[in-house]
């Protein structure tokens, strides 16, 4: 419980970002064919619970379900900085193919999931190393900064 509170607390602390709020209340729990063919995969709550972290069965302890380090982009389709990050994440996903997984979660479609992680501003990137606690960065970032973070946090290269 303490670890989960730390993670959720860290997510809540970093709330000074470029976009806030919600523009729609649509629910879509299925990946589209387009999303399945992309390197960056959209996640819904069910996918998140299977591929990243099942906070319903293990609420007190972070247990990463993935097979390699991951980035999760919490975004919205109407958010300008999120739109700037999208092609950068696509490029990084291809460059690091087989080394990391890159996921995206639309906060308007997955409000419950965003709320569970205290996402209050977007874009918010969750960096998940294999055997460590996740780390949060908010706001858009340049590709070189993103790659530096991937190398240091996820791949542990200096």
pLDDT digits (tens, 9 = 90+) for 62-104: 899 999 999 999 999 999 999 999 999 999 999 999 999 999 9
Q: Which of 151, 146, 96, 115 is nearest to 22 (CA)?
A: 115
For the chain, percent of residues with pLDDT exceeding 90 = 63
When computed from its CA atoms, the radius of gyration of the chain, rounded to whole angstroms, is 14
pTM: 0.75
CA angle 33, 140, 61 (to 5 degrees): 75
Q: Looking at 7, 43, 70, 82, which residue is catalytic? A: 82
* 19 belongs to the catalytic site: no
Tell me the β-bridge partners of 125: 73, 137
Report the relative pairing of strands 135-138 and 70-75 from DSSP bridges: unpaired
Give the pLDDT confidence score for residue 128 in this predicted structure.
95
Q: Find tokens 């975004």 and name the residue.
A: 75
Give the pLDDT confidence score for residue 5 in this predicted structure.
42
How far apart are the C-alpha atoms of 113 and 44, rounded to whole Å?
Answer: 8
DSSP 140: -
Q: Looking at 7, 11, 72, 79, which residue is catalytic? A: 79
Architecture of domain 2-154: 3-Layer(aba) Sandwich (3.40)
* 79 belongs to the catalytic site: yes
């Amino acid at each position: 419980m303490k670890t989960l509170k730390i993670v959720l607390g860290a997510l809540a602390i970093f709330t000074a970002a470029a976009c806030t709020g919600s523009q729609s209340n649509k629910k879509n729990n299925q990946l589209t064919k387009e999303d399945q063919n992309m390197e960056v995969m959209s996640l819904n709550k069910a996918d998140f619970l299977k591929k990243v972290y099942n906070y319903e069965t293990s609420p007190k302890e972070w247990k990463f379900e993935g097979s390699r380090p991951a980035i999760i982009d919490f975004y919205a389709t109407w958010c300008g900085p999120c739109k700037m990050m999208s092609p950068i994440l696509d490029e990084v996903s291809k460059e690091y193919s087989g080394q990391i997984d890159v996921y995206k979660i639309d906060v308007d479609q997955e409000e419950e999931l965003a709320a569970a992680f205290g996402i209050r501003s977007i874009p918010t990137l969750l960096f998940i190393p294999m055997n460590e606690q996740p780390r949060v960065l908010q706001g858009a970032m340049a590709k070189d900064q993103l790659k530096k973070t991937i190398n240091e946090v996820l791949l542990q290269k200096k």
